[in-house]
Amino acid sequence: MMLKIENLHAQIGDNEILRGVNLEVAAGEVHAIMGPNGSGKSTLANVLAGHEAYGITGTVRFEDEDLLALSPEDRAAAGLFLAFQHPVEIPGVGNLYFLRMAFNSVRRRRGLEELDVMGFLALAQERMKLVEMDRSFMSRSVNEGFSGGEKKRNEILQMTILEPKLAILDETDSGLDIDALRIVAGGVNALRRPDRAMIVITHHQRLLDYIVPDRVHVMAGGRIVRSGDKDLALELEEHGYADLGLEVASDRSASVGATP
Amino acid sequence: MTTVTSTARTSATAAPTVAELLSRLGFRPSGPSPAWLTQARHASLGWATARGFPTLKDEDWKYTRLGPLLDVPFERAGDGDGAGRRVSPAMIDALTIDAASTRLVFVNGLFAAELSLLTDLPEGVTVTNLASVLAEGGAGLEPFFSRPFGEYDHAFTAINTVLAEDGAFIQVAADALITAPIELVFLSDAHGPPVMANPRSLILAGPRSRVAVVETYAGTSGGVTCTNAVTQVVLDEGARVEHYKIQDEPDAAFHLALLDVRQGPGSRFSSGSVALGSKIARNEVRVRLEGEGAEAGIDGLYLPRGDQHHDNPILIEHAAPRCTSRQLYKGIVDERGHGVFNGRIIVWPDAPGTDASQTNKNLLLSDHAEVDTRPRLEILTDDVKCAHGAAVGALDEEALFYLRSRGVPYEAARALLTYAFARELLDLIESESLRTHVETLVAGRLSTDSDGTGAHSGD
């Protein structure tokens, strides 16, 4: 099993956001995670990538290694990649410089040869075609002044360059028009391989028309409450979360609902 | 009821008075110099003695404690004590930005001809040392030494007037253009007793002329030195002067400097500075916009760490209509470093149409780092556009996480973001050779480059 999450809890202060997540993802599989706002989807993605804001219990094994013991940079080197829901803007850091630095850092830790500027530029240009990105992006600061769609494409570009074993896409489709969605999905599909897995977090079934998942999970209240095949996504699209008889509300909103 | 409070100094070694310091530095008012200069030196001596050293109670000195400086028994660099002997051509090479440029080198405030490089210059351009101009009578220079003392003056500028013997003299005639920066290198070197130097430089840009000047301050380590420098710049109508200053003195050095600028109508002055060195450094800039439509851009980057203290008192006076001034100062403060921005803009009543802005941003890299920022506006007329702001913060944790999530190691990610913070100022440097030189200095300071991933210039 590539990724094995057992009883994962995460909290910020007294606020427990993940309340016992269990998930297994095998190489070659694409898993979709759906669920209402506040159900813990993005927190799960951030915890897996190594964000340090959370208090965490439980176990996460990635290729039989203790993922939670690794720094974010070591997780990247081990083959984990998170496409952020809201990629941060970094003024003053050139996109090309950053990408090459990331690429070579990861390559070095994987014991692979680093690329010089010319070699990297050739690679980057080839990958940029996949996400239909203009060369001018390279000379701009990381994400600075990028539109929502450009930021998402930059995330996918980074993914195609870093070639992770496990990619987590956190609402990469949100805010994209249909053309941008097609481009992003095309970049993702180009990376599908038997030795690579993906976790696609989304609000909308729409994305799953382009990136067809092997498994669909529904998160609610900090847990995965239901799992199924791709038809589950269609069912959700049609009926919403409530009609599925899922316990979607968190404890707090449930008690609010009980108050007349 | 009466309470008696003792105001006597309690410290064991009382700081010296101005007169004591000057007598130790060997003031020779009757030395060979033009009569007006002797008179100016006497006047400054009298004023400084009466005024005394600034204290923390002075608005412009409230963040800089002078005790550690005044406790040092400085002497004038003399002949027999070996001071200045350790400065080598190799050292100059390392500080040179462009080997082909005109270069004046001063060691402990005195011109070192053998280390300097004088090149062919366009007609009407004079680049020489001040002492040689004074030796010939210093015609026309009296106003620079005999200015009436104002509210901003202090004992150190007066001491410079009393003791200054040498420095750079740059005069550019009307319409003459010098595009390659003239390099002025000031080196301090104390081998035995602590040494104080008082270089004095003049940059006089005639109507519609253009000149670029870089001042570099550095020194040898081992001894204790104090540089008390004054540079005066005058821009005639339509003149354009680009000035840059690199302060990279040894960690035990003291550095006090004043850059005093007077601008005529339609002139453009830009000044950038980077402060890397010294134990205590105070880099004062005063710009007086005296002619209509003059423009000034005053920028600075300070990077105190260890126990370094970098103070930036800036005064911009808008004294004529429709002038523009812009200030951008950034501090990157690490370890127990202390950075100060004390910027003041005064818009006088006869300066309608003024457009002034002042920005100070600081990045604190350690829990013990300290910044004082004080942007001040004093507007005495209507019809002005003024903006000012200050910010103090730490590195953006989300940006740090983003970089690390892409595999960039923690230390390298920190260095990259810190360098990015400085980048805006480096991009403002027009001369490519100078920009590359300063980028290397700043990257070298910020780099934690043990594994080849440190921050260098971006693509």
Residue B313 has pLDDT above 90, yes or no: yes
Query: What is the per-residue pLDDT for B284?
Result: 97
pLDDT in tens, A146-188: 998 899 999 999 999 999 999 999 999 888 888 888 888 888 8
**Distance of alpha carbon A144 from alpha carbon A53, whole angstroms:** 24
Arithmetic mean of pLDDT over chain B: 90
pLDDT in tens, B390-410: 999 999 999 999 999 999 999
Residue B270 host element (H or E): strand B268-275
Arithmetic mean of pLDDT over chain A: 89
Would B40 be classed as within a structural domain? yes
- Residue A117 structure tokens: 């500027």
Please indicate if any CB of chain B lies within 8 Å of the CB of A188. Answer: no
pLDDT in tens, B321-348: 999 999 999 999 999 999 999 999 999 9
Q: How far is B97 from chain A (nearest CA, A)?
A: 24
Residues from chain B contacting residue A97 (CB–CB below 8 Å): 458-459
Find the closest chain A residue to B415 by CA distance. A93
Backbone angles phi, psi at B173, to 5 degrees: -70, 165
Interface of A with B in 158-177 (CB under 8 A): 158, 162
Nearest to B402 among A77, A88, A138 (CB): A88
**Distance of alpha carbon B126 from alpha carbon B70, whole angstroms:** 37
Query: What is the per-residue pLDDT for A214?
Result: 95
Identify which of A159, A228, A224, A157 has the alpha carbon closest to the alpha carbon of residue A198: A159
Mean pLDDT of B226-243: 98
Would B90 be classed as within a structural domain? yes
Residue B437 has pLDDT above 50, yes or no: yes
Would B273 be classed as within a structural domain? yes
Find the closest chain B residue to A45 by CA distance. B405
CB contact under 8 A, B417 and A90: yes
Would B409 be classed as within a structural domain? no
Query: What is the per-residue pLDDT for B81?
Result: 58
Would B375 be classed as within a structural domain? no
CB contact under 8 A, B408 and A105: yes
Residues from chain B contacting residue A113 (CB–CB below 8 Å): none
Find the closest chain B residue to A72 by CA distance. B405
| Domain range enclosing B22 | 18-291
Please count the other Cβ atoms lying within 10 Å of the Cβ belonging to residue A93: 24
**Distance of alpha carbon B228 from alpha carbon B376, whole angstroms:** 26
- Residue A93 structure tokens: 């850091």
Q: How far is A244 from chain B (nearest CA, A)?
A: 36
Would B322 be classed as within a structural domain? no
Percentage of chain A beyond pLDDT 90 is 69
Total count of domains within chain B: 1
pLDDT band at B7 (very low <50, low <70, confident <90, very high): very low
CB contact under 8 A, A77 and B407: yes
Residue B272 has pLDDT above 90, yes or no: yes
Mean pLDDT of B233-248: 98
Residues from chain A contacting residue B422 (CB–CB below 8 Å): 92
Identify which of A186, A184, A246 has the alpha carbon closest to the alpha carbon of residue A216: A246
Query: What is the per-residue pLDDT for B447?
Result: 80
Query: What is the per-residue pLDDT for B119?
Result: 87
Please spell the DSSP secondary structure of chain A, one letter per residue. --EEEEEEEEEETTEEEEEEEEEEE-TT-EEEEE--TTSSHHHHHHHHHT-TTSEEEEEEEETTEEGGGS-HHHHHHHTEEEE-SSPPPEEEEEHHHHHHHHHHHHHHHTT-----HHHHHHHHHHHHHHTT--GGGGGSEETTT--HHHHHHHHHHHHHHH--SEEEEESTTTT--HHHHHHHHHHHHHT--TT-EEEEE-S-THHHHHS--SEEEEEETTEEEEEE-THHHHHHHHHTTGGGT---S-HHHHHHHH--
CB contact under 8 A, B459 and A139: yes
Residue A259 has pLDDT above 50, yes or no: no
pLDDT in tens, B30-89: 456 789 999 999 999 999 999 999 999 888 899 999 999 999 999 887 655 566 778 888
A interface mutation test: which of B404, B421, B426 has the most A CBs within 10 A? B404
Residues from chain A contacting residue B413 (CB–CB below 8 Å): 73
Rounded (5°) CA angle B348-B350-B355? 65
Give ipTM to 2 decimals.
0.93
Would B455 be classed as within a structural domain? no
**Distance of alpha carbon B301 from alpha carbon B292, whole angstroms:** 29
AA identity, residue B355: D
Residues from chain A contacting residue B453 (CB–CB below 8 Å): 101, 104-105
Would B432 be classed as within a structural domain? no
